[in-house]
Structure 1
Amino acid sequence: MQPEGFSNNIHWHIGHVLTANEQFLFGFPDNTEHLPEYYKDLFGYGTKPADWPDDVPSADELAGQLNSQLKRIKAIPEEKFAEKLPEAVLGAQTFGELAALAAFHEGNHTGRINAMKKVLNK
């Protein structure tokens, strides 16, 4: 359900955070992403639920992917955060700076999710 005044629904925001974190934290520079490629088509920048086909991943599938991703994030060696990127990504020069951008991005969407939950619960 998409509350009035919001451009996407909670399901999309969760999928988008998952997809963006995957790209930021595992796509640069190693390209070791684990999500199905079609997630980008559903949850990437500029996508919206109105364009979804009928077979969108369930909330349970997204939750499982988030748990798996969190385990992989926790397994990133600390020294990786100091590594320079081959080229700047969104202004980030190191993997740690890119991880900070991913965390900021996730916080932004988490705020939107929380706002939608409040609207939907009224």
Structure 2
Amino acid sequence: MSQIIINQFSMARNWTIELAEDLTEEIANMQPEGFNNTIKWQLGHIIGAAEYFMRILPGNQAELPVLYQELFSPGTRPSEWKSEPPHLSEITIELKKQLERINKISPEQLKETLKEPVHHFNTVADSASFCVLHESVHVGQIQIMKQFFKV
């Protein structure tokens, strides 16, 4: 069962990478009317959330630049950024590097209990399963946003 979660994460992440590789920097930075953020924000948020759910909650150290939390955490918006965001190509590289790290999570690690329940998650598998769902939702948002730009 736990290997299914990693396989599903890989599938969702590969969709994300495919979408990112099909974009230009200009499109990634455009904010469609009615949206609070950009495709670049969506991509950075996916990376930050995966780091939280798949590494930090299980008790591992984050392997992302601090800038990702500053720019892409829930509630942040590109209109409020005080720092220059990473280039789309850097984000795409980070998506791939993170996928490699997460693919190394063993079935035994997924069975481990979190130090304390967080968001009603008791195990690493609970958190990882939500991460797959979360990424899929944001992939859908990116696809909708791309339609605004006829990409």
TM bin (shorter chain): over 0.9
Structure 1 residue 37 displacement after superposition: 1.2
Structure 1 residue 53 displacement after superposition: 3.0
CA RMSD, 1 decimal = 1.2
* Equivalent residue, structure 1, for 2:80: 51
* Equivalent residue, structure 1, for 2:135: 106
For each residue in 1:54-74, what CA deviation from the matched residue of structure 2 results, as whole angstroms up to 9, or x when unmatched?
521010110011100000011
Take 2:83 and 2:131, find their aligned partners in 1: how far apart are those partners?
29
For each residue in 1:31-66, what CA deviation from the matched residue of structure 2 results, as whole angstroms up to 9, or x when unmatched?
321101121110001100001135210101100111
* Equivalent residue, structure 1, for 2:23: none
| TM-score computed with the length of structure 1 as normaliser | 0.95
**SS of structure 2 residue aligned to 1:33:** coil
Gap regions ≥5 residues in structure 2: 1-29
* Equivalent residue, structure 1, for 2:63: 34
- Indicate the structure whose relative CO is greater, using CA pairs within 8 Å and at least 6 residues apart: 2
Gap regions ≥5 residues in structure 1: none
Flag as ranges the 4+ runs of structure 1 deviating above 2 A.
Answer: none
Take 1:8 and 1:43, find their aligned partners in 2: how far apart are those partners?
10
